[in-house]
């Protein structure tokens, strides 16, 4: 029982796992990069990004490149720790079924 409680509800979705996985190994990622890698639609991805942003697991940086708006996401320290814990919990669950 206690094992399951270590799983983080905020990561309880394929897209959110994907966003965190990408941001863990990349300094930052742009919205379109996330979209391509995860094969998600704009609206779907935006809602999951917002949820992670709200939990303060990722930070958003908006800027303009020329006239084009450009959004960069990166993982926060809190998000890194939370995600590591989540992976640890997953691995423990696999080892002890």
Neighbours of 53 (CB within 10 A): 15
Residues 37-76 that bind other proteins (CB under 8 A): 37-38
Q: Is 1 in the site for other proteins (CB under 8 A)?
A: no
* Three-state secondary-structure class, residue 96: coil
Q: Which is nearer to other proteins, 62 or 96 (CB)?
A: 96
Residues that bind other proteins (CB under 8 A): 14, 17-18, 21-22, 24-26, 29, 33, 37-38, 87, 90-91, 93-94, 97
């Amino acid at each position: 029982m206690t094992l399951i409680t270590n799983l983080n509800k905020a990561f309880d979705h394929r897209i959110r796992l994907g966003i965190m996985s990408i941001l863990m190994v990349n300094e930052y990622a742009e919205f379109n990069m996330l979209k391509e890698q995860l094969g998600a639609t704009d609206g779907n991805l935006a809602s999951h990004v917002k949820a992670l942003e709200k939990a303060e697991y990722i930070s958003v940086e908006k800027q303009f490149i020329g006239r084009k708006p450009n959004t960069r996401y990166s993982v926060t320290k809190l998000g890194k720790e939370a995600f590591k814990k989540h992976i640890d919990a997953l691995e423990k669950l696999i080892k002890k079924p």
